[in-house]
A = this chain, B = another copy of it.
Amino acid sequence: MHLLDWHDVAESDWTSLIEQSLLNGADRRRLENTHLGKSVGLVFFNDSLRTRVSMELAAASLGATSVTVTPGSGTWGFAWEKGVPMLGAEAEHIQEAVGVLSRYVDLLGVRLFASGTDLVKDMQDNMLKQFAAASAVPVLNLESASRHPCQALADAAVLTRHFSGQPKGKKFVLSWAYHPKPLPMAVPHSTLLMAARLGMNVTVARPDGFELDPEVMKQARQSAAASGGSVEEMNRQDSAMEGAHIVYAKAWGGKARYEDPAIEVRDRQAHSDWRVTRHLMALTNGGGQGKFMHCLPVRRGVVVDDDVLDGAHTLHLEQAEYRLHAQKAILSWLWERNKKSSDSGGTVSASSNPAANHP
């Protein structure tokens, strides 16, 4: 019912959604007004530019209404723990907040980076799961502590388009990059899983101490085995670049010091030379014909140099654009899927919020 991660989604649905994203990109008015009367609630616990704008526009294009909620700005913060008297600043529990919102709308999108200090909890996306459990309508993950499925689908569509439908077997380098702050692991996790699922030969380049979640690495290797791709890791950026068709740069926080962001901020400075330069890009496939990718926002001169980003070999704006096309595909798919389960006797109503039919 929810889309929190692509892991549990059937290969046929995943493939179809890539196709739908590409069709939406080719004709922006393709699904116009196909979901009139629907509504979407967008809850942003963390800042956003692309995600909020593209979600609001995706909903509007489908004929749906969207409402955006920013806890702590215009509304109060939410409490998450149960069994603890709510005597702090939070005026409402997430259980009621989500319960109420899911009485109003037909789908809830949520951006929720989670704790940032509790590695186990964050890797399992416990807060996202709690949010979803409280909802009576489908929940769409708009980036959590550990996954970013909307970015992954957009990137899969861009790669499929770039390689004329044949990303399989191409070399994809997911390269750690320096950043003054430890960022969430959602994008690198979802990017790795996406590239492996497309059958690409993936190299994860990162300094020691910045390994991705072992469970994600394992999933990616299994996925690559099934798709005909491969996954390897290395701790050097330059050798990783050799022959790369794609260089996907991303900063993320180190697992080793996850519980203490202040120490992490200090120690990560030792790796401030992990920056994509034109010298590194020159090592890519065809003598520098490899493409640079980034999910944005990106720090110029820190993650990547200006001359790379302003050059001809980038896909970053197209990635951002495909967020819009991919999210239209996802919204439409989630609603159609719930409609079908209703037609066949499920509990979810097709034409209106299911809450209205509660006893």
Contact = CB atoms under 8 A, between A and B. Distances in A.
A33 to B, nearest CB: 9
Contact of A296 (B96, B299, B318): B96
A113 to B, nearest CB: 13
Interface string A67-82: 1011001111001001
Given A74-B47, A92-B296, A321 B104 contact: yes
Contacts of A74: 44, 47-48, 52, 70, 73
A39 interface: yes
Stoichiometry, copies per complex: 3
A216 to B, nearest CB: 24
**Chain A interface size, under 10 / 10 to 19 / 20 to 34 / 35 or more:** 35 or more
A297 B76 contact: yes
Contacts of A67: 52-53, 56-57
Contacts of A306: 82-83
A297 B356 CA distance: 21
A101 B53 contact: yes
Contacts of A240: none
Interface stretch (A141-149, A168-176, A347-355): A347-355
Interface stretch (A3-11, A24-32, A114-122, A223-231): A24-32
A61 B356 CA distance: 15
Contacts of A299: 85-87, 91-93
A54 interface: yes
A301 interface: yes
A266 B88 CA distance: 15
A75 B92 contact: no
Interface string A44-70: 100111101110110011000101011
Contact of A302 (B49, B57, B85, B351): B85
A341 to B, nearest CB: 19
Contacts of A244: none
Contacts of A91: 47, 297, 299
A180 interface: yes
A297 B99 CA distance: 12
A237 B28 CA distance: 56
A25 to B, nearest CB: 7
A100 B49 contact: yes
Given A74-B48, A180-B87, A321 B355 contact: yes
Given A74-B47, A86-B300, A301-B83, A104 B69 contact: no
Q: Which 8 A-B pairs have the closest CB atoms?
A: A85-B301, A92-B297, A86-B299, A103-B321, A60-B65, A28-B352, A100-B320, A49-B75
Interface of A: 25-29, 32, 37, 39, 41, 44, 47-50, 52-54, 56-57, 60-61, 65, 67, 69-70, 73-76, 79, 82-87, 91-93, 95-97, 99-101, 103-105, 180, 296-302, 306, 309-310, 316-318, 320-321, 324, 351-353, 355-356, 358
6 contacts: A26-B356, A28-B353, A28-B356, A29-B37, A73-B74, A92-B298
